[in-house]
Structure 1
Amino acid sequence: MSENPKFKEDEMKTEKYKSVVQELLSLAGIEINGRNPWDIQVNDERFYKRAVTEAELGLGESYMDGWWDVEKLDEMIFRIVRADLQNKVRRNLKIALQLAGFYLINMQARHRAFIIGERHYDLGNDLFQNMLDKRMNYSCAYWKNAANIDEAQENKLELICKKLYLKSGMRVLDIGCGWGAFGKYAAEKYGVEVVGITVSKEQVSLGKELCKGFPVEIRLMDYRDLNEKFDRIVSVGMIEHVGYKNYRTYFEIANKCLNEDGLFLLHTIGEVRSVKNTDAWTHKYIFPNGMLPSIAQLSKAAEGLFVIEDLHNFGADYDKTLLAWYDNFNTNWYKIKEKYGERFYRMWKYFLLSSAGAFRARNKNQLWQIVLSKNGVPGGYISVR
């Protein structure tokens, strides 16, 4: 019986794609079905075509579908990012068109502001309660002299308070307040009054409960609707959802709301290069319409509005933070698995561990805390570490 020519052709194509994947991964010291904990174990041969033609979307989705596994996912991604492989695989036309919206329209416009809340932060408070620290901080912790995630997150909150030179009686704005972790801490430890805003209904609901008894008000609103004065402003992990078309507006709002002698602390993940979109997998599954700013983009947007007093990079601490979150998530998964399902587990595992690997690489994702003033601090700002 003669061999099916269609089958033979498909087999040859698979081998071609496999060869490309092998060659690329070898640049990062990764083998297919190798013995190292970062070596990829392929369960489905269709993975090769998907990885080559769909780049980061194909890599992530095929993991979610169980087409490949790896013992140490974070170590594998660390090697991929360190070797800059993500820029050596071209996106296909379909994916490029999907991301074209970042250039053609304002993906973070006012009428789209609540999408991220609905599709990410409103996934369920139970998910985040089983993953985060006891104060519910969903941003990079500060691990200096910390033994665990609870201590590291309190360190971060204390660091922010000290950098802002908080004093009792001050009125503080928290743009992107999450579940109110900063507001409650600052009100409790420093005697300030805090107004926090978020685009997540679930965060407002639980945040109000967690901050009960403290002078902390949590509002469901877009930052563009702010129009009142504050002594201090803090924004932790929120500008990643603002988008490059809106950076200037964001700083204009902050400038308008900050008293003349006030301080503004911006805590953000950042890119070493200026970009105008995000990777396709993250956009589709984790942070729709998200975008990481660069220092160049931030400084240009703040020009004429703020003086940059201090810039502190502790991006290496996000690696530890993400691993701590994954450990909590994995340990507590049995409590919530019936609600979310196995594919969600693989998606969330991929999100947390691939992010840890990317921060570990140090040549792409960074974490900055930037302190800004409107007119320059008289006598100079004294940095806090």
Structure 2
Amino acid sequence: MGDAARRLSALAEQALGAPLPVRIRAWDRSEWGPPGTPLLVVRRRRALRRLLWKPGELGLARAWVAGDLDVEGDLYEALELLAGHLWERGEDTGRSTGSALLAALRDPALRATGAGLLRLAGPWPPPAPPREEARPAGGPLHTVRRDKQAISHHYDVGNTFYEHVLGPSMVYSCAYWAPDSTLERAQEAKLDLVCRKLALTPGRRLLDVGCGWGSMALHAAREHGVSVVGVTLSEEQAVYARKRVAEAGLTDRVEIRVQDYREVDDGPFDAISSIGMAEHVGSARYAEYARELYALLRPGGRLLNHQIARRPLKDEAHYRVDPFIDRYVFPDGELAPVGRTVAQLEEAGFEVRDVESLREHYALTLRRWVANLEAHWDEAVRLTSPGRARVWRLYMAACALSFESNRIGVNQVLAVRTPSSGASGLPLRTRDWR
């Protein structure tokens, strides 16, 4: 047996200034590091070449998606142990310590470390990125065309794959948990919470922006008697949602369109739900998004904006989109602090009446989705690809930990297009909703 694992551990310790907190198994089957910890498996020397050509999170992501890197043991524990060394962002700079670490290998003070890594990496030509990596069209961000392409990358990977991950509810956003709840009951509770905040009653008209597989539209029409227009940019989602609507006998009350929210021209609506969609809008377009939704509401109409938020940085100019998320999960997606979201909704004319954090609820939801994926792993791989399944497992597990540790959050913002009379239509005790 060789000694690649020992050498890798030594090189990592030189660069980090501290031992790696996990055990390593290298391609030559050698192992090194603290016993009883999760095993970081470097299956191929190609993983090192990926890191040398793309230092930081993108190189790590490519190695993970390609199967050059893996974890044996508890994935959550491994991610928690490695977070401070490889992925966690500094609050002041937004720069990952992984990028700083691997860039340091080019520093003259660590030349021996870098040379050692080069020798271990083997033949030098860089490997091609995994085929699961997104390559959006050029041009400005968040045009209708580019957004449609980004949405297709994430959602058009097969509806059966999402059935395995999300379960029968087919709701791809944070559930609303009670102590003894199941995923299905928690997702139904979330949909009903949104409907109650929007005061949906028979005869009213709802626009569901980013309607996904139609779950919110179906719930609102079936349980609250409203008419719904649901819009999505995903062709596969629309086909699936229309089938569900037809099977439920609700075609007279629910219309599903493949349409950008900027192209909706048949307002006004009594209410708008935007659940897990605003993360795709982008900072440069968010003011436009808020103005468009404001214009589509009748006076007195309500918006429920359910959106993931990041922690604010001391210098917002340092914010950078996570390379793994950008290339493999949500191309062109951006997160903003909740304060900025509230401010931009108010600048568009809305009166913000309630903000509810569901941070812990999303962590619970993601852990259930990971468990679903792992329980259907072979089928998920067959339906998509080994790389795609690995993307979703890492993404959802890492996000669960980020919600648990308060690195990111999720909030429901209830806003009203308050008429000039000032009558918002909300109860004195807001959490009664109606």
What's the TM-score bracket when you normalise by the shorter of the two chains?
A: 0.7 to 0.9
For 2:286 and 2:403, the matched residues in 1 are separated by 23
* Structure 1 pair 257–17 and aligned structure 2 pair: CA distance change class (3 A): farther
The counterpart of 2:12, out of the listed 15, 18, 31, is 18
Q: Does 1:205 align with 2:231?
A: no
Matched-pair contact (CA < 8 Å) for 2:373–2:380: no
- The answer as to whether partners of 2:176 and 2:187 remain within 8 angstroms in 1 is yes
Deviation at 1:337, TM superposition (A): 2.9
Q: Deviations over 1:327-350 (max 9, x none)?
A: 222222333433423233322221
Residue 410 of structure 2, aligned match among 367, 370, 381: 367
Q: What residue is the counterpart of 1:63 in the other structure? A: 64
Question: What secondary structure sits across from 2:336 in the alignment?
Answer: coil
3-state SS, counterpart of residue 165 of structure 1: coil
CA contact (8 A) 2:203 2:225 kept: yes
User: 2 CA distance for matches of 1:21 and 1:157?
Assistant: 48
1:162 is aligned to: 196
* Contact 2:342-2:413 at 8 Å conserved across structures: no
Which of the numbers 299, 302, 309 marks the counterpart of 1:260? 299
Distance 1:131 1:11 in 2: 35
Question: What SS does structure 1 have at the residue aligned with 2:270?
Answer: strand
- Aligned 1:335-374 pairs, distance under 5 A: 335-362=379-406, 364-374=407-417
Structure 2: gaps spanning 5 or more residues: 25-32, 90-95, 104-134
Partner Cα separation in structure 1 for residue 193 and residue 305 of structure 2: 12
Residue deviations 1:246-288 (CA, integer Å, cap 9, x gap): 0000000010001111110000111112665421111111111
303-312 or 216-225: which moved more? 303-312
Whether 1:382 aligns to 2:430 is yes
Q: Where do 5+ consecutive residues of structure 1 fail to align?
A: 1-9, 94-100
Instruction: Give the structure with higher Rg (CA).
Output: 2
Quote how far apart the aligned CAs of 1:148 are. 1.4
Distance 1:166 1:361, change over 3 A: same
* Aligned residues of 2:76 and 2:398 also touching (Cα < 8 A): yes
The aligned counterpart of 2:271 is 232
Aligned-residue offset at 1:70: 3.8
Identity of aligned residues (%): 27
Aligned partners of 1:75 and 1:15: how far apart in 2?
19
Aligned to 1:35: 35
CA pair 20-267 structure 1, distance change in 2 beyond 3 A: farther
Q: Any idea what the Cα deviations from partners look like across 1:109-160, whole Å, max 9, x if unmatched?
A: 2231201222111111111011113121011111124421111101111111
Distance in 2, Cα, partners of 1:299 & 1:79: 34
Contact 2:158 2:383 in 1 (8 A): no
Distance of 1:129 and 1:11 partners within structure 2: 39
Instruction: Select the residue among 185, 195, 207 that pairs with 1:173.
Output: 207
**SS of corresponding position for 2:326:** helix
d(CA) in 1 for partners of 2:226, 2:18:
53
1:220 aligned onto 2:258: yes
* Maintained 8 Å contact 1:174/1:235: yes
CA distance in 2: counterparts of 1:325 and 1:14, whole angstroms? 33
Measure, in 2, the Cα distance between the counterparts of 1:48 and 1:15.
Answer: 13
- Contact kept? 1:146, 1:155, Cα under 8 Å: no
Letter in 2 for 1:318: Y
Query: How do 1:11-160 residues align onto structure 2 when only pairs under 5 Å count?
Result: 17-19=11-13, 23=17, 33-38=33-38, 40-44=40-44, 47=47, 54-64=55-65, 65-81=67-83, 85-86=88-89, 87-90=96-99, 106-160=140-194
Residue pair 1:41, 1:70 contacting (<8 A) in 2 also: yes
C-alpha distance in structure 1 between counterparts of 2:82 and 2:9, whole Å? 22
How far did 1:365 drift?
1.1
Kindly provide the amino acid, as one letter, of the partner of residue 283 in structure 2: Y
CA–CA distance in structure 2, aligned partners of residues 148 and 25 of structure 1? 41
Asked if residue 248 in structure 1 is aligned to residue 287 in structure 2, the reply is: yes
Match of 1:3 in 2: none
Aligned-residue RMSD, C-alpha:
3.1
Structure with higher RCO (Cα < 8 A, 6+ apart): 1
Kept in 2: contact 1:60–1:350 (CA 8 A):
no
Is 1:329 matched with 2:373? Answer: yes
CA distance in 2, matches of 1:25, 1:194: 56
Report the TM-score when normalising by structure 2: 0.76
Q: CA 1:79/1:168 → structure 2, altered by over 3 Å: closer, same or farther?
A: farther
Deviates more, 1:369-378 or 1:190-199: 369-378
Q: Normalized against structure 1, the TM-score is what?
A: 0.84
Per the alignment, in what secondary structure is the counterpart of residue 111 of structure 1? Answer: helix
Aligned equivalents of 1:49, 1:122: Cα separation in 2: 31
CA displacement at 1:63 relative to structure 2: 2.3
How big is each residue's C-alpha offset from its partner over 1:166-185, in whole Å with a ceiling of 9 and x where there is no partner?
11111001000001100101
SS of equivalent to 1:311: strand
Secondary structure, aligned partner of 2:431: coil
Does 2:334 match 1:291?
yes
The correspondence for 1:318, drawn from 343, 348, 362, is 362
